[in-house]
Structure 1
Amino acid sequence: MQSTASSKHQFLRLVDGEQVRALLSHEDALQAVREAFVLHSRREGRVFPVVREALATGGVFGIKSGDVAAQGLLGFKAAGFWPNNRAHGGEPHQATIALFDPATGRPLCIIDGNAITTMRTGAAGGLALQELARRESTRLCVFGTGTQAHIQVEFALRLCPSLHLVRYVRADGSRDAKFEARFAGRCDIEHTQAGSAAVSESDIVITATPGRTALFDVAAIRPGTHFNCVGADTKGKRELPEGALQRVRLFVDDRAQARQIGEMQWATDADCMEFGDLLSGKETFHRRAEDVTLFDMTGLALQDLTVARVVCERAEATDTGTVVAWPW
């Protein structure tokens, strides 16, 4: 991403969501997100303080930013959640990523952040399944059927070949034909209204909702289960029941951030390991069959930046996107 030629600073590249999806593969996302975790573990990449604020409009607005000095990588993601968008047929999640030249402060690329957020969060969940879930896992339960539930299940089926049953739970108790159709033929997919029972019968549990209350009973947690918890990313949000974090081997992407906006905000003194330390080899974890593992996923700015860098480089190489004049 390093670019100091003044001629390049005369232009700004814009890459929309469809273009991101065409340029970025699942394997690209896995590699870039793994890199982000390792950079964070080695403190070779910085994560700046997160902004996450409620708005008078009913939305939530946030900024995640950071840099990797050795790579000339600098940028931010402005993102949030506007539930009222649904009433107008719009997507409630909105995100935009900007990359900058750290030597000059000039913007290099503006990228649709929704597509990148979806892929990088799915990839983070996939990496956690590879490292933490039991290899013989066959049954998965997912709470939610939105965009993030889709991508989490997609990565799970790609990376856990023994999975053959997916049960899903929705807040309103209804079926989701679109969700079922996406995975039909790749696994047995079942709708259930009994969330606690589904958790107790599953090897992997994914929570991907915007909720603020526990999704299941703490008594449903069984030995050997792995949890990927995606939804708690703002103060006041939670998906887990009281006492859950005290019963698990807990992994987080960043301790301070997890205590601020993740599930750890409800148990700030819980013992945990940063997932990047496991990937970098700084820490070790040998799973026992009876262990319950849980990844509290709040998302790192470095994940957005490393994935966005891949997209930006591909866009430049293929002349994808819209280039507009942006003179000094």
Structure 2
Amino acid sequence: MPKNTQLLLLDTRQVAALLNYHMVIDAVADAFKLHSGGAGRIFPVVREGLGNGAVFGIKSGDIDSRSVLGFKAAGFWQQNRTLGAEPHQATILLIDPESGRPHCVIDGNIVTTLRTGAAGALGLGLFARPDSRVLCVFGSGVQAQIQTRFALRAVPTLRHVIHVSRDGRPAPDFEAALAADLETAGATLAHTADADAAVAASDIVITATPGRKALFHAEAVRPGTHINAVGADTQGKRELPDGLLARARIFVDDPIQARQIGECQWAPELAITAIGDLLAGTTSFTRQAEDITVFDMTGIALQDLTVAHLLLREAKATGAGTRVDWPW
């Protein structure tokens, strides 16, 4: 006789209703600490180009002590823009490690957006100068928006945002999406097509594009600058210029991934430090005034899984989501 079980489905609106800023920050910090201590594992990343020009990937892992097992299938479909839709697409599946049966299917788009924004915020809290006032952000998409939004919360001294778009033109949608956050923070936003001047004027630089070449020149980066490098997550992608990493103190979410698919693929011989080791207290970092710091963010499966596990718990507690019969 089949066992009568149910599969929980959480769509994008249900996910958004269950999460808030502090919950995601805590879950992502937890993911990095679990990874540092070996209590959470990440498995080899799948990242492959498709015949239609899209990129498809799988990030998976487990947290044995919490009976968490799962993966996120995600990628980038540039052609979605022609449909007026988001090119980044992601779906998360949580699996019962005892039986292999699925627990929960979760729309991964908001999870990916928020957990990456949270990682960026944690990086700013650890590495950026606490008196930082000017932020330069490259990109106009969803990730550029969330990185800017979280930065304004993580660094309350920020008073000016300089925006550099890929096509060199102002991005009204980007500006409109951040209007309320800028007002709350008491910050202004201006667009420029001069990337080097924007970087030279900034205390913090965030690169959040799907780029495959440097966005600015290394000479533009002043001593004391912190950079969150978000976009490089595939072999061949890069946003930072030659020579910059050699001048910087480099921090990563995962050393192997950073050297395989992150900015560190372009300088794999350089010393790096995992952010989880800092959060767990197994190593320390004291910023010197002249330090250039880089956080190479490739995104690890445990970020998705800790947030997904939190969502499953919240959905069970509140009755949120859609349940379908899934006998076995």
The match for 1:127 is 122
The match for 2:238 is 238
Instruction: Determine if contact 2:145/2:178 at 8 Å carries over to the other structure.
Output: no
Deviation at 1:177, TM superposition (A): 1.5
The alignment status of 1:113 with 2:108, answered yes or no, reads yes
Instruction: Determine if contact 1:183/1:189 at 8 Å carries over to the other structure.
Output: no
Hey, which bits of structure 1, 4+ residues long, moved more than 6 A? none
The AA in structure 1 aligned to 2:194 is A
- C-alpha distance in structure 2 between counterparts of 1:89 and 1:192, whole Å: 25
The AA in structure 2 aligned to 1:238 is R
1:8-47 aligned at under 5 Å gives the runs 10-47=5-42
The alignment status of 1:175 with 2:170, answered yes or no, reads yes
The alignment status of 1:217 with 2:217, answered yes or no, reads yes
The match for 1:3 is none
> Aligned residues, how many?
322
The match for 1:146 is 141
The match for 1:285 is 285
The unaligned stretches of length 5 or more in structure 1 are 1-5
- Larger deviation, residues 315-324 vs 208-217: 315-324
Question: Could you give the per-residue CA deviations for residues 262-314 of structure 1, whole angstroms, max 9, x where no partner exists?
Answer: 00111110111011101101111000111111000000100000001111111
* Structure 2 length-normalised TM: 0.97
Deviation at 1:103, TM superposition (A): 0.6
Instruction: Determine if contact 1:139/1:201 at 8 Å carries over to the other structure.
Output: yes
Deviation at 1:71, TM superposition (A): 0.5
The match for 1:83 is 78
Instruction: Determine if contact 1:197/1:220 at 8 Å carries over to the other structure.
Output: yes
The AA in structure 2 aligned to 1:150 is Q
Deviation at 1:181, TM superposition (A): 2.4
Matched residue SS, 2:39: coil
The AA in structure 2 aligned to 1:71 is R
Instruction: Determine if contact 2:214/2:241 at 8 Å carries over to the other structure.
Output: yes
The alignment status of 1:310 with 2:305, answered yes or no, reads no
Deviation at 1:178, TM superposition (A): 2.2
The unaligned stretches of length 5 or more in structure 2 are none
Deviation at 1:182, TM superposition (A): 3.0
Matched residue SS, 1:227: strand
- C-alpha distance in structure 1 between counterparts of 2:76 and 2:176, whole Å: 26
Matched residue SS, 1:136: coil
* RMSD of aligned alpha carbons: 1.0
Matched residue SS, 2:59: strand
- C-alpha distance in structure 2 between counterparts of 1:146 and 1:183, whole Å: 12
* Structure 1 length-normalised TM: 0.97
The AA in structure 2 aligned to 1:181 is A
